[in-house]
């Protein structure tokens, strides 16, 4: 649970704290996510909600059945509190979840009972693995929150084995400006705890406005809050909790880039991936790494 990881290549060492190897000295631009996922440490776990929402979401955006990854070596880049790791662990995959932020503390708390799950705190731009280590690498809703979505994709691609698969989902570019984007420039300077308190004060207003015919929905966007009533199969208390989570998630990230499916597909082509597929969910793309690739002998140090 506590100790050190020693690198035989560069002779650096990193601490293991509470069962998590820590390959970063801080979480920088990702700190809001650490606070967010420790605030909502169980909200999206299927085991907590009693649903299969996360399982279905994974199948939708990763374009693969969890059972097909049984006994495979899998890497999640940006695991948060571990909602998708739980799905894959239960399906029998050997999964490593990395996150730049202190969200790893929530993840290890949620998943410590699974012997086929490893949680690591690391920067996806400098991962502590040998290249070509994983059968399946995926990142869902994370790359667009880094300084560069394209560079983040290029950074994680080398860890896919030849003939392995890389799958990502990023935010799709809007055709029209959305008001919440203005709020984000204000709220991203606040802690998620403070933003949550503000949301709790005003959230009944847009929820009430949406019930007014014709004009209610357009008026409700003035005060941003996610609304999952009648859209997700959740108990009322879980609907409210999930709404708070997704509103905080929309308002507090430092970076938020948006892209077109063709743009993301072009990055897979730059990397030389084959059998590239754009999923039914906008901006979910997966591809197969060619069998013939140039290998590097050591991990990043």
DSSP string, 210-270: TTSTTTHHHHHTTS-----TTTS---HHHHHHHHHHHHHHHHS-S----B-HHHHHHHHHH
pLDDT value at position 91? 98
Residues 113 and 225 grouped into a single domain: no
Indicate the helix (H) or strand (E) that contains 14.
Answer: strand 13-17
Question: According to the model, what pLDDT value does residue 19 have?
Answer: 94
In a domain, 29, yes or no: no
Residues 155 and 80 in one domain: yes
Domain presence at residue 27: no
Residues 74 and 129 in one domain: yes
Contact residues for 119 (Cβ-Cβ < 8 A; gap 6+): 19, 20, 79, 82, 85, 96, 97, 98, 99, 104, 107, 108, 111
Q: Helix axis angle, 83-90 relative to 53-62, nearest 10°?
A: 90
Q: Is residue 17 part of a domain?
A: no
Rounded to two decimals, the pTM is 0.93
DSSP annotation of 54 = H
Which domain range does residue 132 map to?
Answer: 50-172+259-288
pLDDT at 299: 56
Residue 294 lies in a domain: no
Query: 72 and 203, same structural domain?
Result: no
The pLDDT assigned to 18 comes to 93
- Within this chain, do residues 239 and 200 fall inside the same structural domain, yes or no? yes
pLDDT value at residue 300 = 62
CATH of the domain at 129: 3.40.50.150
In the three-class reduction of DSSP (H, G, I as helix; E, B as strand; rest coil), residue 273 is classed as coil
Cα gap 220→287, rounded to integer Å: 39
Q: Is residue 55 in some structural domain?
A: yes
* Structural domains counted in the chain: 2
Same domain as 282, residue 247 = no
Can you give the pLDDT at residue 15? 94
For 87, the enclosing helix (H) or strand (E) is helix 83-90
Tens of pLDDT, residue by residue, the chain (301 residues): 899 998 888 788 999 999 999 999 877 789 999 999 999 999 999 999 999 999 999 999 999 999 999 999 999 999 999 999 999 999 999 999 999 999 999 999 999 999 999 999 999 999 999 999 999 999 999 999 999 999 999 999 999 999 999 999 999 997 777 777 888 989 999 999 999 999 999 999 988 888 888 888 888 888 888 888 778 889 988 999 999 999 999 999 999 999 999 999 999 999 999 999 999 888 999 999 999 766 554 456 6
- Reference 77, options 4, 9, 15, 155; nearest CA is 155
User: Cβ distance 165 to 75 under 8 Å?
Assistant: no
Residue 110 belongs to some domain of the structure: yes
In-domain check, residue 94: yes
């Amino acid at each position: 649970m506590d100790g050190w990881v020693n690198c035989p290549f560069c002779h650096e060492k990193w601490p293991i704290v509470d069962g998590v190897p820590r390959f970063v000295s801080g979480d920088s631009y990702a700190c809001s996510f650490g606070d967010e996922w420790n605030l909502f440490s169980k909200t999206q776990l299927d085991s907590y909600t009693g649903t299969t929402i996360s399982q279905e979401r994974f199948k939708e955006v990763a374009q693969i059945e969890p059972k097909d990854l049984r006994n495979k070596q899998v890497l999640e880049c940006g695991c948060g509190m571990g909602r998708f790791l739980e799905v894959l662990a239960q399906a029998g995959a050997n999964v490593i979840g990395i996150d730049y932020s202190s969200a790893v503390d929530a993840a290890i708390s949620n998943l410590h009972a699974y012997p086929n799950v490893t949680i690591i705190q690391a920067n996806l731009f400098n991962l502590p693995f040998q290249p070509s280590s994983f059968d399946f690498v995926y990142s869902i809703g994370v790359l667009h929150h880094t300084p560069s979505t394209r560079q983040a994709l290029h950074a994680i691609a080398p860890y896919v084995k030849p003939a392995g698969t890389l799958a990502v989902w990023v935010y799709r570019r809007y055709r029209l400006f959305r008001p919440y984007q203005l709020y984000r420039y204000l709220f991203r300077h606040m802690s998620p705890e403070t933003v949550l308190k503000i949301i709790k004060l005003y959230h009944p207003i847009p929820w009430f406005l949406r019930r007014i015919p014709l004009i209610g929905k357009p008026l409700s966007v003035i005060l941003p809050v996610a609304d999952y009533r009648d859209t997700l199969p959740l108990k009322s208390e879980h609907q409210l909790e999930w709404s708070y989570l997704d509103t905080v998630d929309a308002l507090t990230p430092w970076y938020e880039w948006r892209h077109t499916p063709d743009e993301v597909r072009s990055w897979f082509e730059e990397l030389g991936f084959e059998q590239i597929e754009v999923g039914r969910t906008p901006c979910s793309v997966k591809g197969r790494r060619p069998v013939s690739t140039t290998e590097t002998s050591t991990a990043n140090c």
